[in-house]
Amino acid sequence: MSRQPKHLAVAGATGAVGIEILKCLEQRDFPVSELTLLASARSAGKTIPFRGKEVTVKELTPDSFKGVDVALFSAGGSISKAFASHAVAAGVVVVDNSSAFRMDENVPLVVPEINPEDVKTHQGIISNPNCTTIITLMALNPMHHAFGGVKSVIASSYQAVSGSGAQGIYELEGQVQAIAKGEPLPERKVYSRQIAFNVIPQVDVFTDNGYTKEEMKMHYEGRKILHAPDLKASVTCVRVPVYRSHSVSVTAIFNDKPTVEAARAAIAAAPGVHVIDDPYADIPVFPTPLDSTDGDDCLVGRIREDLVLENALTFWVVGDQVRKGAALNAVQIAELL
């Protein structure tokens, strides 16, 4: 596909990621000849501004894709499974933001700064990886190439409540306000425990091996994106009382001996990721979630040689999971097309 204007569809247009996709399309001047916004029947008829005009949302149906070139899906796995095939049958290339097709061997799983060439293998569907996987690999990939390949990863994620959608934010806000006023906490609807002033070491459901589905995504998706079939990842995902942007603490073991200086140089030369790391400044310099919120790039700091494992570095990476972890990555895939 050329950079001629395209008829673009966004499925799940009224959700947080859908709205962010529209923002990215505007900011990056994506060549849109026509825009079709799709959502559930209850959202049909709403209008969303795009490039100075109000675009009316239509109900998503199997017949929604006539004349569409590219469809960005961000409405959940069940919706993707139900409607992506109809889009492909209509000649549309689908960029899917759910987990529905990520591990399908016929569907490329793409982070444009890491494996853009995989887009060429698509058969109608391209998958967006999990947000925590994207943020972690944006920092890890330059070191993966610099130090003879990554062998294994031990990581803990600190995931913002916006990863649960708007309801996660509302639940945190409601609890904080109730505690500040000395009132009883409102009924929990999103999390199994109080999230205000607390952390919850569970994101997603548990699997038979004791890890959650979210934690296993980095293990399997990392192998596919990096083309590293032997990569192993042991991950603990934690929900924290932060509104937006995920953080990940990573220890990575490489085939060759790494150095902090070479790691910083490799990251500095890579697109979409920056080093913010000066622990010996008067006020130590390192990135926090707020530093990455509403930004395109992932930020890396606290890079140091691991004291336990050989050929290992430990580092900290933050990124806006709504943007680079979802909407922006999907738009970048569409740009690759």
pLDDT score for 165: 87
The model's pLDDT over 125-169, given as tens digits with 9 standing for 90+, comes to 999 999 999 999 999 999 999 999 999 999 999 999 999 988 999
Question: Per-residue pLDDT for 265 more than 80?
Answer: yes
Q: What is the mean pLDDT of the chain?
A: 96
- CA 122 vs CA 106, 125, 328, 330, 337: distances in Å: 7, 6, 19, 14, 10
Contact between 225 and 278 under an 8 Å Cβ cutoff? The reply is: no
What are residue 234's DSSP bridge partners? 154
Q: Lowest-confidence range among 4-8, 81-85, 232-236, 326-330?
A: 4-8
Q: Torsion angle of alpha carbons 120, 125, 131, 134, nearest 10°?
A: -10
Cβ neighbours around 293 below 10 Å, total: 19
Q: Which residues are catalytic?
A: 131, 246
Q: What is the mean pLDDT of residues 25-37?
A: 96
Dist. CA 195–CA 157, nearest whole Å: 16
pLDDT score for 3: 72
The model's pLDDT over 186-233, given as tens digits with 9 standing for 90+, comes to 999 999 999 999 999 999 999 999 999 999 999 999 999 999 999 999
The model's pLDDT over 74-130, given as tens digits with 9 standing for 90+, comes to 999 999 999 999 999 999 999 999 999 999 999 999 999 999 999 999 999 999 999
Q: Can you tell me which residue has the tokens 């409540």? A: 161
Arch. (CATH architecture) of 6-128+326-336: 3-Layer(aba) Sandwich (3.40)
Please report, rounded to a whole number, the percentage of residues in the chain having pLDDT higher than 90: 98
- Give start and end residues of each alpha helix (H) in 151-241: 166-181, 213-226
Dist. CA 58–CA 111, nearest whole Å: 29
Q: What is the mean pLDDT of residues 12-28?
A: 95
The conformation of residue 325, written as its DSSP 8-state character, comes to: I
- CA 198 vs CA 169, 187, 195, 211, 293: distances in Å: 14, 16, 5, 21, 21
The model's pLDDT over 300-315, given as tens digits with 9 standing for 90+, comes to 999 999 999 999 999 9
Contact between 8 and 34 under an 8 Å Cβ cutoff? The reply is: yes
Q: Chain centroid to CA 152: how far?
A: 21
Q: What is the mean pLDDT of residues 27-31?
A: 95
What are residue 170's DSSP bridge partners? none
Q: Lowest-confidence range among 162-171, 184-193, 252-261, 284-293?
A: 162-171
- CA 234 vs CA 2, 33, 53, 151, 159: distances in Å: 41, 45, 47, 12, 16
Q: What is the mean pLDDT of residues 247-258?
A: 98
Three-state secondary structure string covering 53-66: EEEEEEECCCCCCC
Q: Chain centroid to CA 310: how far?
A: 30
The conformation of residue 30, written as its DSSP 8-state character, comes to: -
pLDDT score for 166: 86
Question: The domain 133-320 is classified under which CATH number: 3.30.360.10, 3.30.390.50, 3.30.70.600, 3.40.640.10?
Answer: 3.30.360.10
Phi, psi angles (nearest 5°) of residue 252: -120, 135
Phi, psi angles (nearest 5°) of residue 209: -90, 5
Strands (E), the chain: 6-11, 32-39, 47-50, 53-59, 70-73, 93-96, 125-127, 150-159, 232-239, 246-254, 273-275, 298-305, 312-319
Q: What is the mean pLDDT of residues 241-245?
A: 97
The conformation of residue 165, written as its DSSP 8-state character, comes to: -
Q: What is the mean pLDDT of residues 240-269?
A: 98
**Domain ranges, ordered by start, for the chain:** 6-128+326-336, 133-320
Question: Per-residue pLDDT for 1 more than 60?
Answer: no
pLDDT score for 2: 55
